[in-house]
Chain A
Amino acid sequence: MNKTFVSYNNIVSSLGFNSETVVENIRNEVSGLKLIDNKNVLPEPFYSALINSEELEQAFLKLQPKEDFTRLEKMMITSLNEVIQSSKIELNERVGFIISTTKGNIDALDENNPFPIERAYLSELGKNIKEFFSFKNDAIVVSNACVSGILAIAIAKRYIQQNTYDHVFIVSGDVVTEFILSGFNSFQALSNVPCRPYDKNRTGINIGEVAASVLVTNNSKNLSNNAVEILGESSCNDANHISGPSRTGEGLYRSMFSALNQANLKTKDIDYISAHGTATMFNDEMEAIAINRLELQNVPMNSLKGYFGHTLGASGLLETIIGMHSLNNNILYASRGFETLGVSKPINVIKKTTPKELKTFLKTASGFGGCNTAVIFKKIKNNYV
């Protein structure tokens, strides 16, 4: 089968509006999480990483929009525009387009939202982004809880290998809304301090917002300098519980196992794991169990939730982009918020940002509905120039 690559990429976030700026902030261990006190969205103060609205407006207006767009659409369009421009790919019939999101413009359901309720349909979101860029194909919208962002990469690869497309642009995004915050708060899952994935003193998640975009392509020429090859991917359900992870890490274990098989790699070939690490008690414990079952416990790993919070349907794509830069820069970035191991099995959480020669990484994610996804990437720098 033809090779498939993840190439040009962009992040619009609290830590900057392009991948390089964001990665530089992570290298300096700067977090986008801040204490927000806004009774309109949550009765108690909460930590979140929000995109600066004025900066977003300025960046978006440069694209000369002719209509009104929602906050999420502005984030997505601003992010995707940079990837389309830098790839210089003509948007013809051979170019596919995937949107990954959990809730899209869900704020349009609010009585006080200026946009009509129809805007809350994910297919409307797809149409608006499609029309802005004049894609020839309709958007494929994937909404599969918190694995959506990483699953989108697997889906793009599958479309390319079925020879439906040569290139697929993916844009992922979710916004911080009262809808989401009130829901996670009802689960008592929100932390009132910056989140601490895998740490003994972790107290739950923070919700954040980003838009992230990539190009997935079968063309080994004209790749970005941080491009990676997709070696293996798999997505397996826990078949256990709709809102709690499996106690044996079944679905995540099977996903990682199957992705390794497809990649034809052994556990020792993995240099780095970009894990999910939401900082809830159950999720982090489940990951540690699954990682140990596959004997990956010595591989350096991090969760990036301490920088961005949990960015839901965008998190998997966001964290893949950081992983690509990690490989390209040969740096393992610290898992912010981690001090003392707080899971029952040993795992190698990166405490300090360290230079290290890196070739491959494994990205994992898990979500409500019992879904799990694992994708393995390999650096291609110097191989295809």
Chain B
Amino acid sequence: MNTNYKITSYCHIKNSKVSLNGSVIFSEQLLDFPEFIKAAYKSQDTKYPKFFKMDNLSKLAFLAADILLKNENLNLEETNNIALVFSNKASSLDTDRSHQKAIQHKDNYFPSPAVFVYTLPNICLGEISIKYKLYTENSFFIFDHFNAKHLLTYTNSLLDTNKAESVLCGWVEFEGDHYEAFLYLVSNEGNIEHNKQNIITLYNT
């Protein structure tokens, strides 16, 4: 089995900052998440109106993925075999709470399909797949904490079995005021070896 995969690039969105490969590319203090992510999105000049319909988790995951994939200069006319392997702790609980609020009291009952569809964590994978035409492997996992070992094993498995040419993987967490995205791309290209220690080091960057 080939274990010489590389971490090609990585992106963080946390603490009012967006960074690509360790360099801050957008920063804006004093904004709450909806304002922050909108400002970050605008700073990237990604013209994609569907962004505004997404829930918070999808916006966070979409923007981090968009920054990384844009950096790859993909040819969208061709099929890009990039798998998506995402994880978090809170699943889609932020939107789950919105749906619960809409059904909690029978005298104020307003469930909506536009909200309900986002009560699944993998919807953000669908959003990214649509934008980048990724007809690829998608999986969403839930862990108590960032699990580098699992991401490493599963990503290697997809690459070893030629299920994907590269894998976009990581952690996208949104709950209450807390948000954190750490995504990285694994392929044969790059300078950082794809191993557990490097994943943990980059995660903590």
Contact B161 A242 (CB under 8 A): no
Beta-carbon contacts under 8 Å, B83-126 to A: 84, 89-91, 93, 96-97, 99-100, 102-104, 109, 111-113, 116-117, 119-123, 125-126
Instruction: Provide the bound-state CA to CA distance between A122 and B142, in Å.
Output: 7
Beta-carbon contacts under 8 Å, A136-168 to B: 138, 140-145, 151, 155, 158-159, 161-162, 164
Name the B residues within 8 Å of A103 (CB-CB).
96, 119
Q: Which of B96, B109, B113 contacts A243 (CB 8 A)?
A: B113
Is B9 close to A, CB under 8 A? no
B17-25, B35-43, B150-158 - the one binding chain A: B150-158
Is A250 close to B, CB under 8 A? yes
Name the B residues within 8 Å of A251 (CB-CB).
135
Name the B residues within 8 Å of A94 (CB-CB).
none
Name the A residues within 8 Å of B203 (CB-CB).
none
Contact B157 A161 (CB under 8 A): yes
Number of chain A residues close to chain B: CB under 8 A = 56
Contact B137 A236 (CB under 8 A): yes
Contact B120 A369 (CB under 8 A): yes
Q: Which of A162, A187, A370 contacts B113 (CB 8 A)?
A: A187
Contact B157 A162 (CB under 8 A): yes
Contact B120 A368 (CB under 8 A): yes
Name the B residues within 8 Å of A43 (CB-CB).
109
Contact B111 A183 (CB under 8 A): yes
Contact B135 A243 (CB under 8 A): no
Q: Which of A140, A143, A184, A237 contacts B134 (CB 8 A)?
A: A237
Contact B137 A235 (CB under 8 A): yes
Contact B135 A109 (CB under 8 A): no
Q: Smallest Cβ distance from A376 to chain B, in angstroms?
A: 15
Beta-carbon contacts under 8 Å, A342-385 to B: 367-371
Is A218 close to B, CB under 8 A? no
Is A172 close to B, CB under 8 A? no
User: With A127-B144, A237-B134 known to touch, is A369 a contact of B89 (CB < 8 Å)?
Assistant: no
| Inter-chain CB contacts under 8 Å: number | 156
Name the A residues within 8 Å of B133 (CB-CB).
239
Contact B93 A158 (CB under 8 A): no
Contact B129 A120 (CB under 8 A): no
Is B139 close to A, CB under 8 A? yes
Contact A122 B140 (CB under 8 A): no
User: With A121-B93, A140-B141, A183-B111 known to touch, is A368 a contact of B117 (CB < 8 Å)?
Assistant: yes
Contact B120 A102 (CB under 8 A): yes
Closest to A185 in B: B111
Name the B residues within 8 Å of A186 (CB-CB).
111-113, 116
Contact B126 A368 (CB under 8 A): yes
Contact B135 A120 (CB under 8 A): no
Is A126 close to B, CB under 8 A? yes
User: With A138-B143, A155-B154, A162-B156 known to touch, is A145 a contact of B129 (CB < 8 Å)?
Assistant: no
User: With A145-B120, A164-B153, A183-B116 known to touch, is A250 a contact of B104 (CB < 8 Å)?
Assistant: no
Contact B135 A239 (CB under 8 A): yes
User: With A141-B142, A162-B153 known to touch, is A237 a contact of B136 (CB < 8 Å)?
Assistant: yes
Name the A residues within 8 Å of B132 (CB-CB).
239
Is A282 close to B, CB under 8 A? no
Beta-carbon contacts under 8 Å, A232-272 to B: 234-243, 250-251, 254, 258, 262
Instruction: Provide the bound-state CA to CA distance between A127 and B89, in Å.
Output: 13
Q: Which of A123, A184, A242, A262 contacts B123 (CB 8 A)?
A: A242
Contact A182 B103 (CB under 8 A): yes
Name the A residues within 8 Å of B100 (CB-CB).
109-110, 179
Name the A residues within 8 Å of B141 (CB-CB).
140-143
Write 29 A-B pairs (CB below 8 A) sorted by A numbering.
A103-B96, A104-B91, A109-B93, A120-B93, A122-B142, A138-B144, A142-B141, A144-B138, A144-B139, A144-B140, A145-B120, A159-B153, A182-B103, A183-B99, A183-B113, A235-B137, A237-B125, A237-B138, A239-B129, A239-B133, A240-B130, A250-B135, A251-B135, A368-B117, A368-B126, A369-B122, A369-B125, A371-B125, A371-B126
Given contacts A103-B119, A143-B122, A184-B116, 5 further A-B contacts (CB under 8 A): A109-B97, A126-B142, A144-B138, A159-B153, A371-B126
Closest 7 CB pairs of A and B: A369-B126, A183-B116, A141-B142, A158-B157, A123-B144, A237-B129, A122-B142
